[in-house]
């Protein structure tokens, strides 16, 4: 079945998304490399091989999303897998140190414009792209939606005073991932009687641009759970939050 399947990965020009795209192509799917800068997507696609195709897609731009959906229909005629991977901790001037960026984490003085911009990509972008791609996914015999979330957005973990990483839970990024988990569940519930399965995964702490390469996991490790959930069979789960070790508490 894999041979004709088509997958779209947002933010696939680098980092975990690029690895997810490589792995899906390795599993025989045609993979669309969503990239807000087309040339970055083209370079990434070239590195993967003939199964990969660049597609311009800025998840915060309605026109870009609509054009991508139209192009997928006219050029590929189907979409089986959507991986909503694009995500940001915030857009800062190049070279802004990680410590400086963390200052935007305090809810007491984080600028609202900053918080909105993070939600725009990490939450509303996912909803907008999913809505635009759903007509294609509904036509697939086995539609799969995988949202790349984070255990840093787990309310259960962060509500526990003993949780060692709760100081990371701040104004924008982590709550945006909490909202992404909630959004995943909402789509899973609405689509539970269809062929579409919707799950959110955490890649773990992966060395990428997002954290100035401080993560201790490789992109290969970080991509694994997303790829697994993208390729689950008809008996696979929907409405779950997992990482490589199993269930993550909501």
Q: What angle do CA 119, 101, 111 make, to 5 degrees?
A: 50
Q: Which residue has tokens 């991932």?
A: 177
Q: Distance (Å, rounded) from C-alpha 97 to C-alpha 211?
A: 10
Residue number, 27 or 40, with CB nearest to ligand NAP: 40
CB of 151 to ligand NAP, least distance (A): 7
Q: Which is nearer to ligand NAP, 158 or 208 (CB)?
A: 208
Whichever of 175 and 203 has its CB closer to ligand NAP, that residue is 203
Distance of closest approach, residue 153 Cβ to ligand NAP, in angstroms: 9
Do residues 68 and 46 make contact, with C-beta atoms less than 8 angstroms apart?
Answer: no
Minimum distance, C-beta of residue 152 to ligand NAP, in the bound complex (Å): 7
Cβ 3 to ligand NAP shortest distance, Å: 27
* Residue whose CB is less far from ligand NAP, 71 or 194: 71
Nearer to ligand NAP, 120 or 139 (CB): 120
* Residues of the shown chain interacting with ligand NAP in the complex, contacts defined by CB under 6 A: 10-11, 13-17, 36-37, 40, 57-60, 85-88, 121, 125, 148, 150, 202-203, 205-206, 208-211, 215
- 204 sits in the region (left: phi over 0; alpha: psi -120 to 50; else beta) called left
Residue 216 known to be catalytic: no
Closest approach, Cβ 62 to ligand NAP, in A, equals 12
Catalytic: which of 114, 173, 205, 216?
173
60 vs 194, beta carbon nearer ligand NAP: 60
Question: In angstroms, what is the minimal distance from the CB of 80 to ligand NAP?
Answer: 20
Q: Three-state secondary structure along the chain? A: CHHHCEEEECCCCCHHHHHHHHHHHHCCCEEEEEECCHHHHHHHHHHHCCCEEEEECCCCCHHHHHHHHHHHHHHHCCCCEEEECCCCCCCCCCCCCHHHHHHHHCCCCCCHHHHHHHHHHHHHHHHHHHHHHHHHHHHCCCCEEEEECCHHHCHHHHCCCCCCCHHHCCCCHHHHHHHHHHHHHHHHHHCCCCCCEEEEECCCCECCHHHCCCCCECHHHHHHHHHHHHCCCCCCCCCCEEECCEECCC
Residues with active-site annotation: 173
């Amino acid at each position: 079945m894999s041979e004709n399947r088509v997958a779209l990965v947002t933010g696939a020009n680098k980092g975990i998304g690029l690895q997810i795209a490589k792995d899906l192509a390795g599993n025989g799917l045609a993979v669309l490399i969503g990239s807000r800068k087309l040339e970055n997507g083209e370079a990434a696609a070239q590195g993967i091989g003939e199964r990969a195709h660049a597609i311009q897609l800025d998840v915060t731009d309605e026109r870009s999303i609509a054009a991508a959906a139209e192009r997928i229909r006219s050029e590929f005629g189907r979409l089986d897998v959507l991986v909503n991977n694009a995500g940001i901790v915030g857009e800062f001037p190049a070279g802004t140190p990680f410590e400086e960026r963390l200052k935007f984490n305090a809810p007491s003085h984080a600028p609202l414009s900053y918080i909105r911009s993070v939600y725009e990509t990490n939450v509303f972008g996912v909803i907008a792209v999913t809505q635009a791609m759903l007509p294609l996914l509904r036509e697939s015999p086995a539609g799969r939606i995988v949202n790349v979330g984070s255990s840093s957005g787990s309310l259960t973990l962060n509500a526990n005073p003993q949780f060692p990483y709760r100081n990371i839970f701040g104004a924008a990024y982590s709550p945006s991932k909490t909202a992404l988990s909630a959004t995943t569940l909402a789509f899973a519930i609405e689509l539970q009687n269809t062929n579409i399965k919707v799950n959110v995964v955490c890649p773990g702490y992966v060395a990428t641009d997002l954290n100035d390469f401080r993560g201790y996991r490789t992109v290969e490790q970080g991509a694994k759970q997303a790829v697994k959930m993208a390729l689950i069979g008809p008996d696979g789960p929907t409405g779950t939050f997992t990482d490589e070790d199993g269930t993550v508490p909501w």
